[in-house]
Amino acid sequence: MKRVVVDPVTRIEGHLRVEITVDESNGKISDALSTGTAWRGIEVVSKNRDPRDVWAFIGRICGVCTSTHSLASLRAVEDALQITIPKNANFIRNIMDGSQTVHDHTVHFYHLHALDWVSPIEALSADPEKTAKLQVETLKKYNVTGLSRRNQTLDSESFSKEFPPATPQYFAAIQAKIQKIVDSGQTGIFSANYWDHENYKILSPEAHLMAVSHYLNVLDRQSEIVIPQVVFGGKNPHPHYIVGGMPCSISMNDMNAPINTMRLAAVDKSINLSQNIINYYYLPDILTIGKAFIDAGITDGGGLSKVRVMGYGEAPDETYSGTSNGDYNKQCLVRSNGVVEDFAKGVENAKFYNLEGEDFMNPEIIQEAVDHAWYKYPEGSSELHPSDGVTEAAYDAGTEWVNLDETKKYSWIKSPTWYGKPVEVGPLAKYMIVYTKVKQGHITEPTWAEQLIVEQIETVSSLLGLKPEEWMPSTVGRTACRALDAQLGSSLERYFYDALVNNINAGDTSVANTEKWDPTTWPEECKGVGIHEAPRGALGHWVNITKGEVSNYQAVVPTTWNAMPRLANGEQGAYELCMIDTHIAAPDKPLEVVRGLHSFDPCLACATHLYKKDGSKITSREV
């Protein structure tokens, strides 16, 4: 047995340490441990704040998913105060969310995850002429553009599509650029990896060169994907919102108005670019890589997704009166709310459990445990519902970081559960849930977005030659579903942009409901929950408001669900089970483990914040 520590896991947001025990005779991982290595205190920052302001603080949980926490926070406060936002505000929020989803997934794959599959070193031996032919063949073989061009009332793409360049001269120039970087001895963005790992031989040198060129292409254009955030929210990261709607007034006649014809055109162009990047770069690359790895027999890393996944639902088509009353989920175009167990046994054998409305406020359904987390609860409490949650640090200063003890507290991340059980969340979970609900008849009239999800899954299944249950619960499947979710996100952007334009043309320019802006209109005490299917999965924010101030606030984020330390009974979360479900070729080069973890797009920053009122240094620790 060999023990391997990766600390920190790089190319993620935040600080993650993992430990694994490997049987070197067969490459099997017998045990795994993941730990968040910094304290989360954003709930402390939120306490006693004005509920109308708290979204701005909460949004700073993360600088990557720059609007998802603000959105969930707004929904929580609006649920508590029973505020219904106008149609235009709902459309705008959905456009911004789609933009965030596309940007998050695209940047994650190309700039955080791609180098787990693709090597610039292997690209140096590619034939540029063969690479150009491969580029053309790939676009023909994996032509998925038809999937995203649906349910659109406007066709505004007047500029030419920017197809990936496909000439030998272009790829020769990219290859020369890579060679220059390698020869310099300072590999920069391509540094710190196991480039001699055998897995890099699975793809052809030409596939490596093609994908690395796309890495550089997307790096150059990714900032244009988030233009809707800038137009509607004033800036990015951390765009502006307002409780009750949006702060951007609309006028088609005033060229100084926040939203006018010129700025809507900029949003339109950004959406078109997003769809083209996904259809002509992202998805063909994912399918090329995924097919090669599956053909090589690498379908491990599914872990907890084979057993239990959970989602919350997203993209309300119409305005809704609240979350805890169930109206939010009734309006969603993507009804991924629920839990699915045993998807790996086949969709016909999977078990579905509904989750909506009052379920999110039920202390028997959703809880957070701290048995192995450096927090403490009031005497007699081992699990608490987020509405009653407590964020009180209980770090053991004598913790031995050389070898963490899994029988004790070992992480700054709590352990959220559904009926006392761990679940995996994320795009893979969302896709499993919608597919199961449609195929088993829990959804009798699928929306166009749900039909798209089913068609996406079945298209990929056909291209891979496998059933959904054979490829989805795996590292390849988790990565592929993230790309499919990006395509869905861009389609939702287009759909809601069209709805916004048509609604403005009908004469409606309202963007905010301020009827309950004055605190004198609020009840003495109230509670609310805001839910969202964020790019990394099920996100929930719970707020308690007392006498006009936030009296308690708790955020249970996707990475908390997936990175949770084990429960009191020993059950493990998604990260740890993903590692245990992964075969490793060389323990001293744990590429497969890092690749599996990266497929979740870890965002430990969402779980790690520290704040002191006077701004002075608290402590530092070398690990």
277: in domain: yes
Residues 463-485: tens digit of each pLDDT: 999 999 999 999 999 999 999 99
**pLDDT band of 101, cuts 50, 70, 90:** very high
Residues 611-621: tens digit of each pLDDT: 344 444 444 44
44: in domain: yes
Please state, for a pLDDT cut of 70, what percent of the chain lies above it: 94
Residues 154-170: tens digit of each pLDDT: 666 654 566 688 899 99
Least confident of 5-9, 172-176, 277-281, 436-440: 5-9
pLDDT at 153: 65
pLDDT at 537: 97
Q: Is 73 left (phi over 0), alpha (psi -120 to 50) or beta?
A: alpha
Residues 284-337: tens digit of each pLDDT: 999 999 999 999 999 999 999 999 999 999 999 999 999 999 999 999 999 999
182: in domain: yes
We report the CATH number of the domain holding residue 31 as: 1.10.645.10
Residues 483-493: tens digit of each pLDDT: 999 999 999 99
pLDDT at 182: 87
Domain of residue 212, residue span: 2-148+159-296+303-364+419-607
Residues forming beta bridges with residue 466, ordered by sequence position? none
Do 411 and 16 contact (CB within 8 A), yes or no? no
Q: C-alpha angle 414/383/526, rounded to 5°?
A: 95
pLDDT at 619: 43
398: in domain: no
Percent of the chain as helix, strand, coil, to the nearest 5: 45, 15, 40
**Domain total in the chain:** 1
583: in domain: yes
- Who wins on pLDDT, 148 or 32? 32
280: in domain: yes
Strands 537-546 and 525-534: antiparallel
Alpha-carbon torsion angle 611, 612, 614, 620, nearest 10: -100
Residues forming beta bridges with residue 537, ordered by sequence position? 534
- Reply yes or no on whether the pLDDT at 462 is more than 90: yes
409: in domain: no
For 470-498, give one letter per residue: b (16+ CB within 10 A) or e.
bbbbbbbbbbbbbbbbbbbbbbbbbbbbb
618: in domain: no
The per-residue pLDDT of the chain, averaged, comes to 92
